[in-house]
Amino acid sequence: MSQQNIALLTLTILSTGALAANRFATPAGAQAGADANTIGVSRTAAVGAGENIPVDALGTTLVLSGAAFAKGASLKSDANGKAITWASSGAKVAIALEAATAADQLIEVFLVPNVA
């Protein structure tokens, strides 16, 4: 799996709770839930509320897969902020630049502007 990313914009957000690294994050500073609108992908973890964390918002980044998906698939957030295939609902937040063969793989994705 890829270990590269080309972030064009990395924002610092204030966490509102625990947030794992390489997961989709919301504009409010929380780990994204299922179908959520996201601001990007967290680069580091936050143990609790009030921590400044870097979030890749534009470009490519590494995110954990929540299930298998094909290269080129449109992606959304699952309940744990991991990338899964977008089928018909929720915010499209990224495009897979490589395939995931199972859950919990670091996959390079291209972040796309999104609105739920």
pLDDT in tens, 22-44: 999 999 999 999 999 999 999 99
The structure's pTM equals 0.94
| DSSP assignment letter at 106 | E
Task: Spell out the domain ranges in the chain.
Answer: 1-116
What pLDDT is attached to residue 1?
Answer: 61
| DSSP assignment letter at 16 | S
- Inform me whether the pLDDT recorded for 55 exceeds 70: yes
What pLDDT is attached to residue 49?
Answer: 96
Write out pLDDT tens, residues 76-99.
Answer: 999 999 999 999 899 999 999 999
Specify burial of residue 22 (Cβ count, 10 A radius: 0-12, 13-18, 19+).
buried
Q: If you average pLDDT over every residue of the chain, what do you get?
A: 95
- Confidence category of residue 105, pLDDT binned at 50, 70, 90: very high
The three-state secondary structure class of 18 is coil
